[in-house]
Amino acid sequence: VHIFCAEGACADWDWSEVDVEGGALPSSCNYTPDGYEC
């Protein structure tokens, strides 16, 4: 999942009812919103 935002455009948002399954490659995160683990 990639979320692209202009500087200062993505703020104060939450993940809700999102399931990501079946990835074949290891994951990495450069941002982790509240309630989500990388």
Sign of the dihedral through C-alpha 19, 3, 30, 12 = negative
Rounded to two decimals, the pTM is 0.29
pLDDT at position 24 is 66
pLDDT at position 37 is 72
pLDDT at position 13 is 79
pLDDT at position 23 is 64
pLDDT at position 4 is 82
pLDDT at position 25 is 66
Task: Summarize pLDDT for 1-37 with one digit per residue, the tens.
Answer: 777 888 878 888 787 888 777 666 666 777 777 777 7
